[in-house]
Amino acid sequence: MSVYANVLLVADGPVSLRHTPELLVALRQAGPNVTTLMTPSAALFLPPLSLSLLSGGKAKTIAEATEADYAAADCVIVAPASLRTLADMRQPEWRERLGYGKRPVLAAPVLLPAEDAQAAEKELQELTACGVQVLTPEQDMSFGAMGAVRTASVSRCLEAILAAVTPHDLAGLKILLTAGPTIEDADPARYVSNRSTGRMGCALAQMAARRGANVLMVHGPMSVPIPEVPGIECVSVRSALAMHKEVMARANACDVAILCAAVADYRPVQYSHEKIKKGGEVDGRFSLILQRTPDILEAVGALADGERPFLVGFAAESEELERNALEKLAKKNCDMLCANDISEPGAGFAVATNRVTVFCRDGERIDLPLQSKEDIAAAILTIIRKRLPPKHNGKS
């Protein structure tokens, strides 16, 4: 998912020695053009040539910056920012140069071990009041002789920048997502499950939150990290029954429900509190009796009009993609169904890419190319946005 924008990164203080190179590498992968300016204290620790090499863009001291460097920026972030620089950022000269009100201006403060937490909090509040988006220092970073410093993580800064330069076309929408596999326990040691990692669900959650939606993700045990992004609230469950309960309690308060969890279709009829021992088999065969789990997508589809969110299902097929997908779309009363052929290389479980065909209630079929799950997620959200009837716009 390449983001096209011009970002001005102002690096400050000794913590930039670690934070800035990592952030530049992450930004380079995400796509925006970055110009880096160093305050005098950052310039003591970082040669501009290194920063240019990492970002592929310009890097210079703040004294060398031109009007054009500021004018070209779609978004400015001061990261890391010492408390002294935060105080400077309230002064007219900085406000004018960074362009408060004209474009998003972000700051990632650094709290040093010896700093007074109350004074720092006051500083952050005053800067927020000036219209700067202050990224709460949430991560302790061990910093050699300086001890543990506290600042917003690189991934948090990256996501905040990307959210700031992405149009918020989903703002005001409440999106319910299911993601990951479910696990159906047989005894304390064994279970029935599937190969889903949760990657597609995470991509949808991240892209939707970046575009301004409020995301509620009900997820099973995930093998990939859940994006730590403001705008995503998570409810963690284990079994299909628990996922069903959590989803049904929330579905009617949402505008859109995208159910992409790989819910186990069957669960052991009986849970054995003790580990099942060998010896119970007949002719070397052991039977585990399974029973159907509730179909969550079908249950949401059966909600009355007015209760039912705009409903998007997924289908994992290994044969007859179109016929099976259309059957699921109708049976589960979905507005859209995103089908993927799990037998195709590069699509389906535990890979970074997918090829999805979207079938719509009105008969339209949209074939998306093989691409990253983030790009697929973005394309699906764009189709939802276009097709969302006004009655579903903004229950949150």
- Cβ at position 331, least distance to ligand CTP in Å: 8
Spatial CB neighbours of 93, under 8 Å, sequence gap ≥ 6: none
> Catalytic: which of 6, 194, 214, 324?
194
Least separation in angstroms between CB 16 and ligand CTP: 44
The least distance separating ligand CTP from the CB of residue 50, rounded to whole angstroms, comes to 47
Cβ-based nearer residue to ligand CTP, 57 or 348:
348
Binding mask 324-363 for ligand CTP (x = CB under 6 A): ----x-----------------------------------
* Piece of the chain touching ligand CTP by CB under 6 A; list 44-52, 122-130, 292-300, 362-370: 292-300
Smallest gap from Cβ 194 to ligand CTP, in A, equals: 9
Q: According to CB under 6 A, which residues from 18 to 77 bind ligand CTP?
A: none
Q: Assess 216 for contact with ligand CTP (CB under 6 A).
A: no
Q: How many residues bind ligand CTP (CB under 6 A)?
A: 16
Contact between 384 and ligand CTP by CB under 6 A: the answer reads no
Structure tokens that stand for 382 in this block: 């764009």
Q: Is 327 in a helix, a strand, or coil?
A: helix
Q: What angle do CA 336, 337, 338 make, to 5 degrees?
A: 125
How many CB atoms sit inside 10 A of residue 123's CB? 20
Angle at CA 229, nearest 5°, toward 175 and 10? 140
373 contributes a contact to ligand CTP by CB under 6 A = no
Between 212 and 221, name the residue whose CB sits nearer to ligand CTP.
221
- Residue from the set 76, 213, 297, 336 that interacts with ligand CTP by CB under 6 A: 297
Q: Which is nearer to ligand CTP, 57 or 301 (CB)?
A: 301
User: Minimum distance between the CB of residue 220 and ligand CTP, rounded to whole angstroms?
Assistant: 11
Using CB atoms within 10 Å of the CB of residue 262, give its burial: 0 to 12 exposed, 13 to 18 middle, 19+ buried: buried
Handedness of CA 85, 91, 96, 102 (dihedral sign): positive
Least gap, CB of 1 to ligand CTP (angstroms): 23
Q: Is 196 in the site for ligand CTP (CB under 6 A)?
A: no
Q: How far is the CB of 350 from ligand CTP (least distance, A)?
A: 16
Phi, psi of 100 (to 5 degrees): -60, 135
Binding residue for ligand CTP, selected from 315, 321, 380, 381, defined by CB under 6 A = 315
Token pair of 108, please?
């990632």
Of 260 and 388, nearer to ligand CTP (C-beta) is 260
Residue nearest to ligand CTP (CB): 296
259 vs 3, 39, 117, 324, CA distance in Å?
26, 47, 43, 17
CA 10, CA 100: separation in Å to the nearest integer? 15
Binding of ligand CTP at residue 108 (CB under 6 A)?
A: no
DSSP state, residue 180: S
Checking DSSP bridges between strand 75-81 and strand 6-11, what pairing results, if any? Answer: parallel
Of 19-27, 133-141, 260-268, 362-370: span binding ligand CTP (CB under 6 A): 260-268
Tell me, yes or no, if 194 is annotated catalytic. yes
- Cα diameter, the chain: 85
Distance CA 5, CA 32 (A): 5
Of 46 and 262, which has the nearer Cβ to ligand CTP? 262
By three-state DSSP, how is residue 149 classified? strand
The tokens for 69 are 């460097």
Cβ density class 5-35: b for 16+ within 10 Å, e for less: bbbbbbbbbbbbbbbbbebbebbeebebbbb
Query: Residue 253 contacts by C-beta under 8 Å, 6 or more apart in sequence?
Result: 174, 395
**Contacts (CB under 6 A) with ligand CTP, residues 165-184:** 178
Is residue 240 involved in binding ligand CTP (CB under 6 A)? yes
* Chain positions contacting ligand CTP, by CB under 6 A: 178, 240, 259-261, 263, 265, 293, 295-297, 313-316, 328
Query: Residues with catalytic annotation?
Result: 194
